[in-house]
Amino acid sequence: MKFDVLTLFPEMFEILNQSIIGKAKEKELININLINIRDFSKDKHKKVDDTPYGGGAGMVIRPDVVYEAYKSIPNIENAKVIYMSPQGNILNQKKVEDLSKNKHLVILCGHYEGIDQRVLDKIVDEEISIGDYVLTGGEIPAMVLIDSVSRYVEGVLNQESVKEESFSNGLLEYPQYTRPEIFEGEKVPEILLSGHHQNIEKWRNDKSLEITKNKRPDLLKNNK
Ligand code: 4GY
């Protein structure tokens, strides 16, 4: 799976060289290509933004610079272009799974007061939000999207974990335990030591349902 990221801050994405996503990049299971929007400025000072028409605080990213950066992406006609913004469709596990069906995603990151609306109207296929709060830029949301979607790419996770875990059945995850068997006087639930796989599976399913009812009853109505 290929991700092209259009950003003014490509250095922020170095976090993705760590851990599971870093390994997936090394194995070329995913390819994250960072495109610095500033490289497409024709200005002698590499300026990419300007003051908003109509007045007001802050700076707006120019449409022409973003459009040039966008046009530099090979095979762009077969890609889905996403703009990270609080105005977008909320990212949830269903949306993540749907996005993982794409071979090529282009993620546009805004900053400052945002990007000139005209280029957004021209190039964006879907606006996506990671939640109802405002960040300083779309870079962290882009990383959230890349991380969550990459987990669905074959080979990125070791085992069966994708299907088995939280949300795959629309429910929250059951509790996990490991050694020691007794921690500060608290024993591991007996059933998990029984070796009786059917009983263990039933216990885990019951726990998932109980936890979901208590912590996130809304999940029992919505989504998948
Ligand atoms: N929430 N979900 C989000 C965000 C920052 C100015 C437009 C969010 O996705 N993106 O808060 N983005 C703003 C910064 C330009 C995006």
Q: Answer whether 86 contacts ligand 1 (Cβ < 6 A).
A: yes
Q: What is the pLDDT of residue 118?
A: 98
Q: What is the pLDDT of residue 165?
A: 64
Q: Residues spanned by CATH 3.40.1280.10 within the chain? A: 2-158
Q: Residues spanned by CATH 1.10.1270.20 within the chain? A: 165-222
For residue 221, give the 3-state DSSP assignment: coil
Q: Is the dihedral of CA 21, 22, 26, 28 positive or negative?
A: positive
Per-residue pLDDT of the chain (224 residues; tens, 9 = 90+): 999 999 999 999 999 999 999 999 999 999 999 999 999 999 999 999 999 999 999 999 999 999 999 999 999 999 999 999 999 999 999 999 999 999 999 999 999 999 999 999 999 999 999 999 999 999 999 999 999 999 999 999 986 666 556 676 899 999 999 999 999 999 999 999 999 999 999 999 999 999 999 999 999 986 45
Ligand 1 site-directed mutation target among 66, 84, 92, 120, most atoms within 8 Å of CB: 84
Angle separating helix axes 19-26 and 139-150, nearest 10 degrees? 70
Q: What is the pLDDT of residue 178?
A: 98
Q: Answer whether 138 contacts ligand 1 (Cβ < 6 A).
A: yes
Does CATH place domain 2-158 in 3.40.1280.10? Answer: yes
Nearest CA to ligand 1 atom 3: 85
Q: Per CATH, which fold does 165-222 belong to? A: Trp Operon Repressor; Chain A (1.10.1270)
